[in-house]
Chains A and B, each alone.
Chain A
């Protein structure tokens, strides 16, 4: 599904990613771990197409299509979803209105009609119930005054609505207590299928107790220095990252 080949990326002329190779197939869960400053968040931003990053070499390929010339919204239309580490606030725009716009813009890009209001409402309720989200939550302004847990749950709710092919969870566990973490992980697990894939980016092993990866990769200094199964995460937890440097 996603194929990253020898990816190099800069920000402000500083090279952050120094040759990443990664293959993710449908139905798989991959985890990328690594110390602060290793390039984890840069990788997620580059896959999503954030402009400040300059790709100097290599490519990101989604379902045999090179994404080089795709704007962030086009990548989203093609099925890439990024759950943000720090979701932004948009005052005056409700969760419902925001997701409605996102869904309809995506449909428009695919040449489909807007989803009728009735169906939209039904879908929103269905997904909210699935993720045990209070209806009242849906009429609040997007992320405004949300707790850390609410923000992350809202990200997963949007993911559930947009049904991406590839979901990237960037430090989804940061700022969450254990109960909130379970709720979010539970949501992700419910949405997992053989047709989509999940890339979990995390600093700590604890999220991986709940979202169990098929593969774990260690990122260090802009490169993947080690790959393995889920047991690699436990090993990292025990030994730290220093032994890999």
Chain B
């Protein structure tokens, strides 16, 4: 009789290796390590940026120098030494690519391993992909279809050149340079990222998608994403990440800003699978991200995230509900295994009247991991009839992991209605035996239970992403059992 007990579960959890831990050997153009004003200027120069951009970066750098790393999150890690990081790395490529034939074959192989070959993307999924590998976009597809609608979807480095008026107006308008330590750092040294503008009244005909991947050992990566949905427009944006396995810690500090003008809607979905570190807790990506969106009148921003990766995650996609009747949503699944630590949640800032927000957070903890939900619902003193519903559920596997919930509620107006629900449950041996008895092996049973637990969030993802996310959940917990 093959036996499966909680002890086996624990043991197996520890032996889970990172599925996507391969390393692509691409020649990289890399800066010497360290950070000072010269490096910031050099990054800007390297990208041929106009003076205003260089100054913007320098201002951020000045602010950053005076700031301290935040310590309030429920995570413990060795702080990165910011002078030991190289702040720019780009795969050595021909400068402009018109077709896939021109892409480094090694790179294409990497994408194939990830199951995201651009070819397949093009053919099957009707998704325009702007791929960021080590800081510089190497291929952009579907540009033409988007052009016809007047939609701008390009690397932010190009947008700085081609649409300076939009970038100048909105960059840092939601997440200012001085917002927090990592946002300031990102503002100073961001390498690249995506820029997206949907014109008035236009519904973007396809899901816009970016795949990120950290590739060069010891390279911190600092993406900057800016999405602007003009009045009455709609866009669904997908962001997905995997990273190759390595021993030293990699710092990832992205900033994402969303602007939804009157009556616009932005749906922003993330599947995040940075290298989580080994079973001994060694290595892994530090993911310190600032994501925030602004809703004007009747606008809606919906964040959906599936977080399975990173050694340490610190991330709170938030909505500033400035306009009356605007809506903010946050749907999240965070899976932690081995020694992973996640402190994630959202902030819903209700400023406009009749604003509504919904928070559904699902945490799955296994191994010796720690999984925290941290959320703030804030209602201003002059905000009438704000409504919020929050639900935070935790699922535990084994008895060495932790789940924590830190809900903060600040309601300064009597008309606010705020509801909060929280549950904690555990995958029990009885549940597993029940599934086994029906012919379902333990690995499949866990996948089934976790998928059931996460259903409310998975349902919010665009179809093609949901399948991938479901697979990722299974992979993340795969081998976690006998």
- A residues lining the B interface (CB < 8 Å): 48-52, 55, 67-73, 75-77, 81-82, 84, 87-88, 90-93, 97-99, 101-103, 105-106, 109, 141, 158, 162
Question: Is B451 an interface residue when CB atoms closer than 8 A count as contact?
Answer: yes
Are A102 and B2 in contact, with the CB atoms below 8 A? no
From the candidates A51, A88, A105, name the one contacting B3 in the complex (CB within 8 A).
A51
Are A92 and B454 in contact, with the CB atoms below 8 A? yes
From the candidates A67, A88, A101, name the one contacting B440 in the complex (CB within 8 A).
A101
Are B453 and A91 in contact, with the CB atoms below 8 A? yes
B interface bracket (residues with beta carbon within 8 Å of A): 20 to 34
From the candidates B441, B449, B452, name the one contacting A73 in the complex (CB within 8 A).
B441
Number of A-B contacts (CB under 8 A): 91
Q: A162: which B residues are within 8 A, CB to CB?
A: 438-439
Q: How far is B5's CA from A71's CA once the two chains are assembled, in angstroms?
A: 13
If A92-B453, A105-B444 are given as contacts, then 13 extra A-B residue pairs at C-beta distance below 8 Å, sorted by A number, are: A49-B436, A51-B433, A52-B5, A55-B1, A71-B441, A76-B436, A76-B438, A76-B439, A82-B437, A87-B434, A97-B452, A141-B452, A162-B438
A-B contact pairs, 26 of them (CB 8 A): A51-B429, A51-B433, A55-B1, A67-B1, A69-B2, A71-B1, A73-B439, A73-B440, A75-B437, A76-B439, A81-B437, A84-B434, A84-B437, A90-B435, A91-B425, A91-B452, A92-B452, A92-B454, A92-B456, A93-B448, A93-B452, A101-B444, A103-B439, A105-B438, A162-B438, A162-B439
Are A51 and B438 in contact, with the CB atoms below 8 A? no
Question: Is B455 an interface residue when CB atoms closer than 8 A count as contact?
Answer: yes
Question: Is B4 an interface residue when CB atoms closer than 8 A count as contact?
Answer: yes
Closest CB in chain B relative to A46 CB, distance in Å:
10
Are B452 and A72 in contact, with the CB atoms below 8 A? no
Closest to A48 in B: B437
Q: A101: which B residues are within 8 A, CB to CB?
A: 440, 444, 448
Closest to A89 in B: B431
Are B449 and A98 in contact, with the CB atoms below 8 A? no
Question: Is B428 an interface residue when CB atoms closer than 8 A count as contact?
Answer: yes
Q: B441: which A residues are within 8 A, CB to CB?
A: 71, 73, 105
Q: How far is B459's CA from A92's CA once the two chains are assembled, in angstroms?
A: 11
Are B439 and A88 in contact, with the CB atoms below 8 A? no
Q: How far is B438's CA from A76's CA once the two chains are assembled, in angstroms?
A: 6
Are B451 and A92 in contact, with the CB atoms below 8 A? yes
Interface residue ranges of B427-478 to A (CB < 8 Å): 428-431, 433-442, 444, 448-449, 451-456
Q: B452: which A residues are within 8 A, CB to CB?
A: 90-93, 97, 141
